[in-house]
Chain A
Amino acid sequence: MPKDGSSFSLDGQGKPLWLALELTYRCPLKCVWCNNPLDFETYTKHELSTEEWKKVLRESRELGSLQLGFTGGEPMMRDDLEELVGYANELGFYTNLITSGIGLSEQRLLKLKEAGLKQIQLSVQSSRGALTDELVGAKAHEIKIEVAHMIKRHGFPMVLNVPVFKQNVELVEEILALAEEIGVDYLEFANIQYYNWALLNREELLPSLEQLQAAEAAVQRARVRLGKKMTIYFVIPDYFEDRPKACMNGWGAIHLTIAPDGMALPCQESRVIKGLEFVSVRDKPLKWIWEESPLFRKYRGEEWMKEPCRTCPEKEKDFGGCRCQAFLLTGDASNTDPCCSKSPHHHVIEEALKQKDAPFRVQRPLVKRMPGVASVQFME
């Protein structure tokens, strides 16, 4: 997960310190900002088996992975989650469960605890039930809040992940109060990244700069009030900044994601880049994929950079931004991320921001993440 908030006090020394397993893309919810692939349903029949996931865990641990996130889709959809958590724990991973909360019963939570699960990241979208339920396309809000209390009752450290967009950005204050009441340890306002379903719905999801600034001010007040009780992350989305995010701390630097079908990815979005040769853990040792494969070497380091990044003094800070965003918005993944004001393509960002406020703009419905809704057949 591209996360600017994470702190890395370990330089990677070439190790995939952060491993994310996308156990499945199946999910009972239909979030309109979901970053899963548009044809997510086609992955179901190719999902890795329990034994195959265990092999991934062993191989990645040997490469030096320490932090492990079980994500998806909804990881609770896999019956073998408890078994995989137990196995990962024995191998010495710090195990995180990244969940919408749907399917996380008290019984399963107890089993996960027994298996050695260390931390849970729960996604919550608003402080108002009707709004959440509309945005995720199901009656989910109440369940999420109950699950949040249950997680705390069982003594897990908890991260509350709140994706931020126009529909909830003005509720930040209320959401802060809700998080405080639950006793959340880390509250992460994740300004959504515009890939896949989020990109499809971008025009209707982008908040305004004023809304973001007001939200940030509310966060700042809460930080002062709460001190160490709760750590709050809030990052202004890159569309509104002059500089891109240091995406994944660089390509193939410290992050490794395995998709449900076993493809090893430098980041979970990287499949949007056409022309890359992805390799499955079914076909090659993970060590080879991480260290040697053309895919992981392609944008590692600085060799691949073009101008203006190549000669830019800031390249060690942001690595030229996000390859996926460069591809999606400029057609070439080795271009400078267009969020950078030095990018010759920066106008595409400015236009997207202008477009959403254009007079007489045709308002569109939000498209829910559902099978068959979007045809990707004709996308080159």
Chain B
Amino acid sequence: MSDVAEDRQLSGKEQPRLNPLFMFRWEESQNAHVLLYPEGVVKLNGSASTIIGRCDGVKSIDQIAAELKAEFVTDDADIESGVRQFMEVAHAKGWLVV
């Protein structure tokens, strides 16, 4: 199995949202957020679910990064690159669409 993902860099202006084929929710038995979709289940770690939960197709990647920075009261410049990197991976995997 190998699906050909259109891997590419995303700009901070892009507005990602959850792939409409996917379902994102809290799952008690895993004590985590999960993504459910045809043929698959993915368990998300805390930061992944915090980011995915904000991808509403309206907010841009830059906005989401700024929000997280404010919320977690950190000056960590890594947050921005971290968010961007995660979005690119999630986009390549087809979890997010822009």
A1-35 near B? 1/0 per residue, CB < 8 Å: 00111111110000101000000000000000000
State whether A10 and B41 are in contact (beta carbons under 8 Å apart), knowing that A185-B21, A227-B6 are contacts in the complex.
yes
Interface residues of A in 31-64 (CB under 8 A from B): 64
- Tell me how far the C-beta of A93 lies from the nearest C-beta in chain B, rounded to whole angstroms: 9
Are B21 and A157 touching (Cβ within 8 A)?
Answer: yes
Residue of B nearest to A7 (CB): B40
- Tell me how far the C-beta of B3 lies from the nearest C-beta in chain A, rounded to whole angstroms: 5
Are A66 and B27 touching (Cβ within 8 A)?
Answer: yes
- Tell me how far the C-beta of B30 lies from the nearest C-beta in chain A, rounded to whole angstroms: 7
Are A67 and B41 touching (Cβ within 8 A)?
Answer: yes
Are A235 and B38 touching (Cβ within 8 A)?
Answer: no
Are B40 and A8 touching (Cβ within 8 A)?
Answer: yes
Q: Give the A-B contact count at a CB cut-off of 8 A.
A: 70
Contacts of A96 in B (CB 8 A): 38
Residue of B nearest to A62 (CB): B29
Whether, in the assembled complex, B43 has its beta carbon less than 8 Å from a beta carbon of chain A, the answer is yes
- Tell me how far the C-beta of A217 lies from the nearest C-beta in chain B, rounded to whole angstroms: 14
Residue of A nearest to B43 (CB): A10
Contacts of A94 in B (CB 8 A): 23, 36-37, 41
Contacts of B73 in A (CB 8 A): none
Are B39 and A118 touching (Cβ within 8 A)?
Answer: no
Number of interface residues of A (CB under 8 A): 32
- Tell me how far the C-beta of A223 lies from the nearest C-beta in chain B, rounded to whole angstroms: 5
- Tell me how far the C-beta of B47 lies from the nearest C-beta in chain A, rounded to whole angstroms: 16
CA distance A198 to B34 in the complex (A): 36
CA distance A10 to B30 in the complex (A): 9
Residue of A nearest to B35 (CB): A9
Contacts of B94 in A (CB 8 A): 228, 231
Interface residues of B in 20-78 (CB under 8 A from A): 21, 23, 25, 27, 29-30, 34, 36-43
B7-25 near A? 1/0 per residue, CB < 8 Å: 0000000000000010101
Are B39 and A7 touching (Cβ within 8 A)?
Answer: yes
Whether, in the assembled complex, A104 has its beta carbon less than 8 Å from a beta carbon of chain B, the answer is no
Residue of B nearest to A231 (CB): B3
Contacts of B34 in A (CB 8 A): 10, 66
Whether, in the assembled complex, A233 has its beta carbon less than 8 Å from a beta carbon of chain B, the answer is yes
- Tell me how far the C-beta of B25 lies from the nearest C-beta in chain A, rounded to whole angstroms: 8
A216-253 near B? 1/0 per residue, CB < 8 Å: 00000001101110011101000000000000000000
CA distance A186 to B34 in the complex (A): 20
Are A157 and B38 touching (Cβ within 8 A)?
Answer: yes
CA distance A159 to B40 in the complex (A): 12
Contacts of B41 in A (CB 8 A): 8-10, 17, 66-67, 94
- Tell me how far the C-beta of B37 lies from the nearest C-beta in chain A, rounded to whole angstroms: 7
Contacts of B43 in A (CB 8 A): 9-10
Question: 20 A–B contact pairs at CB < 8 A?
Answer: A6-B40, A7-B39, A9-B43, A67-B41, A92-B27, A94-B23, A94-B36, A119-B21, A119-B37, A159-B38, A185-B38, A186-B38, A186-B39, A223-B4, A224-B4, A226-B4, A228-B4, A228-B6, A232-B3, A233-B1
Which chain B residues have a beta carbon within 8 Å of chain A's beta carbons?
Answer: 1-6, 21, 23, 25, 27, 29-30, 34, 36-43, 94
Excluding A5-B39, A6-B39, 14 further A-B contacts by CB distance (< 8 Å) are A3-B39, A9-B41, A9-B43, A10-B34, A17-B41, A94-B23, A94-B36, A94-B41, A119-B37, A119-B38, A186-B38, A228-B6, A231-B94, A233-B1
